[in-house]
Amino acid sequence: MVDKQYVYFFGEGTRDMKKLLGGKGANLSEMTNIGLPVPPGFTITTETCILFNELGKKYPDGLEEQIDGNLKKLEDKMGMRFNDKENPLLVSVRSGAAVSMPGMMDTVLNLGLNDETVMTLIQKSGNERFGWDSYRRFIQMFGDVVMGVAHEKFEHAIHAKKTEKNAKVDTDLTANDLKELVDDYKKIIKDEKGTSFPQDPKTQLKMAIDAVFDSWNNKRAITYRNLNGIPHDLGTGVNVQTMVFGNMGNHSGTGVAFSRSPSTGENKEYGEYLINAQGEDVVAGTRTPQSISKLKDEMPAIYNQLMDIFKKLEIHYKDMQDMEFTFQEGRLFMLQTRTGKRTAAAALQVAVDMVNEGLIDKKTAVMRVEPAQIDQLLHKQLDKKAQGMAQLIAKGLPASPGGAVGMVVFHADDAVEEAKKGKKVILVRTETSPEDIEGMATAQGILTARGGMTSHAAVVARGMGKSCVAGCEEIRVFERKEYFTAKDIKVNKGDWITLDGSTGQVYLGQIPVVDAELSGNFGIFMKWVDEFRKLGVRANADTPKDSEVALKFGAAGIGLCRTEHMFFEASRIKAVRKMIVARNEKDRRDALMTLLPFQKQDFIEIFEVMQGLPVTIRLLDPPLHEFLPTDDSDIEELAKELGLEFDELKNTINSLHEINPMMGHRGCRLPITYPEILEMQTRAIIEASIELTKKGIIVKPEIMIPVVGIANEVKLLKGQIVEISDELIKKNNVKLEYKVGTMIEVPRACLIADEIAAEAEFFSFGTNDLTQLTFGFSRDDSGKFLPEYINKGILEKDPFATLDREGVGELVKLAVQRGRKTRSNLKIGICGEHGGDPASVEFCHIIGMDYVSCSPFRVPIARLAAAQAALRN
């Protein structure tokens, strides 16, 4: 039987073998294959690592022979040998998994040095200092990462040596000082481990390889994998590679570079190098590296060769590369290449440029930009440098992206007041409620101590495209006393804070923000995106202003217009309250009639903005008590306005209190008890439509009934809507088409979707409520336990953020099938928060919905996610 291949010489693998060889190994092979100058070496596979650990840290049969064979091959190729008197081979041992993973073993350089080979190295290079410096670096790295001696011990020794010799920096130490240091280091190892530093290169190599295998299961690596959802059975490869020396003098050096700018995407090399340096010196920050453009003057031959290689690698990999290189006495070597990480702006620029250069096609370009990156482009961002130095005081949920700076206020009214004075404020509250809408709209950002990713604050802030950190359990808010605390820090009204809604971080003081700027690339790129997607993308918008934003971001209509938000405006809330506390139908009707013109005007404005695109309007949904005051003083004031006794009003308000309002008197249950609410809203919608139709403006209203679970609910309410609408249309003698449909957000509605579809002309899945009711998780309270569910691995993701395909998704699928069985042309969409989440959008594509609807600022994200879903499935 032929042994399994555990070891691949550079050149035997290809870039497609990342899983087996690790990213570093696969690309070292690939670069070798395309003729780039890569110091020869070999890769031990990731499978070997797993086997080694499974076998209780033993080599599988044949591995030792394969390592020996490849080492011999390397020695022959280089004309160098381990321990050779004239040409001693030195190697690096480098770990490398399939995915880039900090936590694995650090690289060991200069392996093969010992008391004898160091003398040869000195003799050959004619550089005594270089020899001893390489040797002491090797013992230090080997002692630390292979033998497990605390690195402080070595640092302490070098520090002591510097003090003793009056040396300011490492480079002030002479050859002789370094030679003495080698002895000190050896003694440290002996004292700490009871064994000597191994002199035999083969023993050194075996120990280093084993240490790499071991490091796969060190604590750091396991934690990192857990945090990033990386499987534990991938294993790491081990690369053994001939050393090249950037520290051989002034014609040697080492550097890292990107083939294009990872910051802007500009097609210009970007990177740094250091003369007379080795390995990590460039990133270690002991000396300040030079910009790569300087190399052009200093070493033009090397520079030109490097530029040719950058170009060659880009054409080969068809993507921007992040590379490591070293030059030894004027000879260039490539040590690593990989796909370069980049900012959102750079991702867009590179994608568009590469299509224009003919390097990639549009499909590839569309797949290359992460939907989440688009988010970065649409919102203000904190200045990264300043952010790094600012004082972080708490961390909450990244509820709505973007940076915000302002002075703290604790009441929505204050936010409005201060904003009028031209001040920038951040509204800080334990949690927000619908009453706070205006204050939220005028604040720069919102910070709440309680509530999850779909809490009121989070949903409203996202809708407004406003920065929000929610559920920040580390702070305590004292609204009445007007301060909040974060651990032992007290923040008063008027103090400045900064929020990073993209990460959930809260800082004391002001961090500069950079405006979002949409480049021409954005438009070009989004046009390509639209060529591939099948799903329509609409927006959830309640105001003409939101509708404008939605349109600007490419929404194909409004998928959810929530009418209750229109009720909270100062000019209307009085009439709303009057309507709610009315004792009889007549009073209620009177109050509603004062609301009608307002509501009608709202719709006229939204329809005008939307220019003939469909607008789905949801009838009043929330429990009525949400509109009523809770403070006695406010009740007193309202009682006066309405000409009621305080006690009387207070009783009415109390009687409206519900134990479980989200499952109470809300949604379609409101018009079933109070038909006049539906009547007013239908009239407002249809009269607005008629008025515009008469002016020659096309209007496509879609009236949506929320929270249905019973077919008869729809039958009854639809009947009323149609009767009112048709009469108005007939009376005005216009041609107007409208639709009546339902939200699907109660599990029962999914099960009887076939019956509902007999009445409803469209379905829109309200997946927030559907998730809440399917799991039986209260959305507003889930912040208390859901994080623990994620920590303990009970749930992989927050189901309110990413649609749960197994449970909620099955219900949705069922409803789509049953609904379409009754009505084949049933229009189906989703308007929950999930409509802007890329993984959920993919699900909607797969099950064949017509559209997704999300907050205006997420429209571009949903468009991209929809295109990627179509290309992937």
Q: Which residues bind Mg ion (CB under 5 A)?
A: 336, 745, 766, 769
**What's the closest the beta carbon of residue 706 comes to Mg ion, in angstroms?**
6
Where does this chain touch ligand ADP (CB under 6 A) — which range of 178-186, 236-244, 379-387, 674-682?
236-244
Q: Which does 326 bind (CB under 5 to 8 A by kind): Mg ion, ligand ADP, none?
A: ligand ADP
**What's the closest the beta carbon of residue 199 comes to ligand ADP, in angstroms?**
21
Phi, psi of 535 (to 5 degrees): -75, 140
**What's the closest the beta carbon of residue 186 comes to ligand ADP, in angstroms?**
23
- Catalytic residue, from 379, 456, 834, 845: name it: 456
- Does residue 156 carry a catalytic annotation? no
Residue 301 CA to residue 309 CA, distance in Å, equals 12
Q: In a 3-state reduction of DSSP, which class is residue 514?
A: strand
DSSP 8-class letter at 340: P
336 lies in the binding site for ligand ADP (CB under 6 A): yes
With CA atoms as reference, report the closest residue to 118 among 206, 197, 189, 38: 197
**What's the closest the beta carbon of residue 90 comes to ligand ADP, in angstroms?**
8
- Does residue 750 carry a catalytic annotation? no
**What's the closest the beta carbon of residue 279 comes to ligand ADP, in angstroms?**
3
- Catalytic residue, from 468, 561, 831, 854: name it: 831
Residues numbered 83 to 142 that lie near ligand ADP (CB under 6 A) are 92, 94, 107, 109
Phi, psi of 263 (to 5 degrees): -95, -45
Q: State how far the alpha carbon of 549 is from the alpha carbons of 39, 276, 371, 442, in Å.
A: 55, 55, 19, 17
CA dihedral sign, ordered 423, 424, 430, 436: positive
Q: Which does 280 bind (CB under 5 to 8 A by kind): Mg ion, ligand ADP, none?
A: ligand ADP
Q: Which is nearer to Mg ion, 524 or 662 (CB)?
A: 662
Residues contacting 319, CB < 8 A, separation 6+? 339, 340, 350, 354, 360, 368
Question: Are 592 and 585 contacting, i.e. CB atoms less than 8 angstroms apart?
Answer: no
Question: Are 593 and 585 contacting, i.e. CB atoms less than 8 angstroms apart?
Answer: no
**What's the closest the beta carbon of residue 324 comes to Mg ion, in angstroms?**
5
39 lies in the binding site for ligand ADP (CB under 6 A): yes
Question: Are 704 and 617 contacting, i.e. CB atoms less than 8 angstroms apart?
Answer: yes
Phi, psi of 227 (to 5 degrees): -65, -30
CA dihedral sign, ordered 781, 787, 790, 794: negative
Residue 622 CA to residue 601 CA, distance in Å, equals 22
User: Out of 210, 280, 438, 605, which residue is the one contacting ligand ADP (CB under 6 A)?
Assistant: 280
Query: Count residues contacting ligand ADP (CB under 6 A)?
Result: 15
Q: Which does 279 bind (CB under 5 to 8 A by kind): ligand ADP, Mg ion, none?
A: ligand ADP
Q: Which is nearer to ligand ADP, 39 or 403 (CB)?
A: 39
13 lies in the binding site for ligand ADP (CB under 6 A): no
Q: Is residue 517 left, alpha or beta, with left meaning phi > 0 and alpha meaning psi from -120 to 50?
A: beta
Q: Which does 474 bind (CB under 5 to 8 A by kind): Mg ion, ligand ADP, none?
A: none
Q: Which is nearer to ligand ADP, 107 or 455 (CB)?
A: 107
User: Out of 44, 182, 209, 244, which residue is the one contacting ligand ADP (CB under 6 A)?
Assistant: 244
**Residues 276, 278, 281: CA angle, nearest 5 degrees:** 95
Q: Which is nearer to ligand ADP, 39 or 536 (CB)?
A: 39
Q: Which does 745 bind (CB under 5 to 8 A by kind): Mg ion, ligand ADP, none?
A: Mg ion
324 lies in the binding site for ligand ADP (CB under 6 A): yes
DSSP 8-class letter at 435: G
Our measurement of the distance from residue 606's CA atom to the centroid of its chain's CA atoms, rounded to an integer in Å, reads 32
Q: Which is nearer to ligand ADP, 241 or 693 (CB)?
A: 241
**What's the closest the beta carbon of residue 27 comes to Mg ion, in angstroms?**
11
Question: Are 217 and 120 contacting, i.e. CB atoms less than 8 angstroms apart?
Answer: no
Q: Which does 769 bind (CB under 5 to 8 A by kind): ligand ADP, Mg ion, none?
A: Mg ion
With CA atoms as reference, report the closest residue to 442 among 418, 459, 463: 418
> How many other CB atoms sit within 10 Å of the CB of residue 636?
14
Q: Which is nearer to ligand ADP, 41 or 465 (CB)?
A: 41
User: Out of 89, 238, 248, 335, which residue is the one contacting ligand ADP (CB under 6 A)?
Assistant: 335
**What's the closest the beta carbon of residue 60 comes to ligand ADP, in angstroms?**
24
Q: Which does 144 bind (CB under 5 to 8 A by kind): ligand ADP, Mg ion, none?
A: none
Which residues partner with 490 through β-bridges? 485
> How many other CB atoms sit within 10 Å of the CB of residue 164?
10
Enumerate binding residues for ligand ADP (CB under 6 A): 39, 92, 94, 107, 109, 241-244, 279-280, 324, 326, 335-336
Residues annotated catalytic, as ranges = 456, 831
